Amino acid sequence: MAFAYSARKARRERLAFSSAEMMKRLGLGNGSGRFTARSLLILASAVLAVIAIARPLGPPAGSEEVPVSMDAIVALDISDSMLVPDGGRSTGFGGGAQDRLSVAKGFIRKLVSDAPGDRFGLVLFSGDSIISCPPTLDHETYIDFLSDADVTKQDLPGTAIGDALVTAATKFKKSGLPRAVVVVSDGENTYGPDPAGAAKEAKAAGLKVYTVGVGTPAGGRIPEGVDFFGQPKYKRDRQGRVVVSSLHEGALKAVANAGGGRYFYSRDTGAAGRLARELSPKTTRKSKEKFAGAQEYGPWFALAGAIALMAAIII
């Protein structure tokens, strides 16, 4: 009996010793503090790497005085009808039909490229309107905002061109520069203030209103995804009839006339260049741009993440 007891005691001691030794080798037991520190450092390194990839920007490091010709805000229609694929054939891979929104974005990119001395802003509208980008000379940032615009950004369905004009007219900087609003739409207006009346009020406030038409007079159906069998679905009215949306050039011309501007058709050769010339008067003014020199903090977060990772390896 005594022999059995001694054997069991010796076995427990060996197990305790081997477990303690193993825990020590793994960095556990009495060394659990190192294990915790290593884990926290690895976690911190991963978090810092994610922040660095996001490229956080600080406040502008300074401002720069640059010549500016004009302030122009583009009011871009993002209502459902802008998904109608009657914008012509794409020049990209596949050569499929372009929807109106893609054509509108292409026109605006060309317009901004041809007017490097103009400050451009962006208003997105459907049943209501929001300012997406205030007037800026940072055209690269502006194009980023434009590329991000799509029908999912709309808060209310429908199209309210008059409301877009009112919103755009209130978003200009106090600069003393000539000001213009460019409405890019298929011209279908479903509710809100009268577009021609809003354009007339904008003109009275010292603005010019230009309009750009997208789509075709024949029009097309408004896509609404696919059904259970993978077949395309199209928007229907309350009576169950398929809705056909078309370009309303007459309405857009009336808005431009009331606003003292001109109407342009997006698919006319050179239309963007002609509009850019109208938006770029020969006289310029000096203006301080706050977008210049924004400091990027991403590299500092990346460096901190690398240091944390090295520390986790060393300890």
Write down all domains in the chain, each with its CATH number in brackets: 8-56+297-314 (no CATH), 62-289 (3.40.50.410)
One-letter identity of residue 34 = R
What are the tokens at 23? Answer: 């825990």
Can you give the pLDDT at residue 65? 60
pLDDT range class, residue 280, cuts 50, 70, 90: confident
What does the DSSP 8-state code read for residue 230?
S
- Pairing mode, strands 207-213 and 260-265: parallel
Q: What are the tens digits of pLDDT across the range 77-102?
A: 999 999 999 876 655 545 568 999 99
Can you give the pLDDT at residue 298? 73
Buried/exposed 93-108: b ≥16 CB within 10 Å, e otherwise: eeeeebbbbbbbbbbb
Q: What are the tens digits of pLDDT across the range 194-252?
A: 999 999 999 999 999 999 999 999 999 999 888 888 888 999 988 999 999 999 999 99
The enclosing H or E element of 111 equals helix 100-114
Q: Is-contact 41 33, C-beta < 8 A?
A: no
Average pLDDT, the chain: 83
Q: What is the pTM for the complete model shown?
A: 0.70
Can you give the pLDDT at residue 62? 53
Q: What are the tens digits of pLDDT across the range 127-156?
A: 999 999 999 999 999 999 999 999 988 888
Say which range, 22-26, 30-34, 204-208, 268-272, has the weakest mean pLDDT.
22-26
> Which residues make Cβ contacts (< 8 Å) with residue 111, sequence separation at least 6?
74, 182, 272, 275, 276, 279
